[in-house]
Structure 1
């Protein structure tokens, strides 16, 4: 039987689950829930702005009530829960992208950096993009790469796609086609149309599939073909995998995905005709 003294180490003291701590945890959950409600209201207002903004001027007065609603709700979300990274990100985006009354680029930058450092993947991706595009500083590329990698660690689709493009072109990093393929593959698994097209087209060009992707894909039925009993004899059909990627792009509404699928279908018909 386990000694009483040893058991006591695993039994929490009564103070560990005090009423005060329970109330604090419940209060934190309540604040987070309230913040998310405000974010949802602000996001809906911003979505309505995006729906009509292409048909009017950027500073159209008819957009101001919607922009004010979004700004007010994102600010209320931060007041409700100052640790909420989504509120910081969306408020930053509002100040940076839209002609909202009282917009301040310095505030936007500060909020974006805070959200990124607090671990928000959308903010990390956005900050990485801004550092790459809008700065001529020598160190900005390194900082951009740092934040992009942080977003990639959380499997952010756009960050995966961008990092894949960086590896494929060798822009500010050593060119690494295998890493590019891995990024495109994981982004396409998240439904990213551009990554799916890039990955599929590289396969059709004859680029070798990395072993890490083969192992990852073996669990997925259509592209895995067993040629024997040993693991080494299991291979991936690159054409079938490319077709699967183009289907992902087509499902996401990408016309290029449909064109690639039609092209593959024509090629298959041509080959069948030659055989007979």
Structure 2
């Protein structure tokens, strides 16, 4: 405020208006940062309380009175975070999730659903994923599949790993949408890159099946040689093609160039192996089984060659 009063005393009108705008903008940004920081502190406090509840809830009743102090701390913390910064989507998400998941005094599922919808519409990927999961339920009175698909796609646009994995499963099975193997592979790949073990296993296992088994079409020999078949089968429409798949210019019929292209494209088996290794690093036993299966296949091929 002192800065503003000093600027108002400057003789040059344009200069003092410029300084006034700058000072107000700085103060507004500073205030937003301060509110956001305080809100995140409240959210962290509430999250810690929920973590403590999750740690012991399997060994007691969900309505156990000993959990009430933690419920109260979490609820009040998230509410305070919303009071401090009403635009904070994380506070809405956690408070909404709390109303939907836990049986605490005052829990209300409609309130939780409304908070999740607000957070999702404001662009929070966790809320979008949570809504997508909860809307995908069998309910004869409510047709919610398309709405669930809408929120899942919104979360996938922000590369949410859980949403990418679930949407990949939807595309793979053709549940409520047209079956789309390339899109399923793209979703699994993005989720695997974010550390999702299940998506890594799904992506690797689908790669091992190959394009012929996945979509029922047989790519041309030229398409296999120059990589176009791999691109069309393994990359979602609109996705960026890896550089190593497009190093050479397509369309040439030179056998020498075609051989170079084959060498530049990483084998689907190698890609799958890398995915299974990522899954094992994340603690997934299924990834280890797939690695063992690959080793067995490799030994059988070596024995057959001998």
Q: Same fold (TM over 0.5)?
A: yes
Q: Which residue does 1:273 correspond to in 2?
A: 303
Q: Deviations over 1:156-198 (max 9, x none)?
A: 1111111111111111111111111111111111111111111
Once the 2 structures are TM-superposed, how far is the Cα of residue 20 of structure 1 from its aligned partner?
2.4
* Distance in 2 between residues matched to 1:40 and 1:88, nearest whole Å: 13
CA distance in 1, matches of 2:130, 2:231: 29
Specify the alignment match of 1:237 in structure 2.
Answer: 267
Please tell me whether Structure 1 or Structure 2 has the larger radius of gyration of its CA atoms.
Answer: 2
Which residue matches 2:116?
Answer: 112
2:204 paired with 1:178: no
Q: Deviations over 1:220-267 (max 9, x none)?
A: xxxxxxx97678543231111111111111111111111111221222
CA distance, structure 2, for counterparts of residue 37 and residue 105 of structure 1: 25
- Give the alignment's Cα RMSD to 1 decimal: 2.4
Structure 1 runs not aligned, ≥5 long: 1-10, 220-226
Count of aligned pairs: 258
- Measured in 1, the distance between the counterparts of 2:64 and 2:261 equals 62
Secondary structure of the 2:195 match is coil
User: 1:273: how far off?
Assistant: 3.4
- Pick from 149, 157, 165 the counterpart of residue 153 of structure 1: 157
Cα distance between partner residues in 1 of 2:109 and 2:268 = 47
* SS at structure 1 position matched to 2:211: coil
User: 1:52/1:138 Cα in 2 relative to 1: closer, same or farther (>3 Å)?
Assistant: closer
Q: Which residue of 2 aligns with 1:167?
A: 171
Aligned residue in 1 for 2:284: 254
- SS of structure 1 residue aligned to 2:265: strand
**In the TM superposition, what whole-angstrom CA distance separates every residue of 1:122-157 from its partner, at most 9, and x where no partner exists?**
101111222221643565222111111111100111
CA distance in 1, matches of 2:138, 2:26: 46
Q: Secondary structure at the match of 1:171?
A: coil
Unmatched runs of 5 consecutive residues or more in structure 2? 1-14, 213-229, 246-254
Which residue of the partner structure matches residue 223 of structure 1?
A: none
TM-score of the superposition, structure 1-length normalised?
A: 0.85
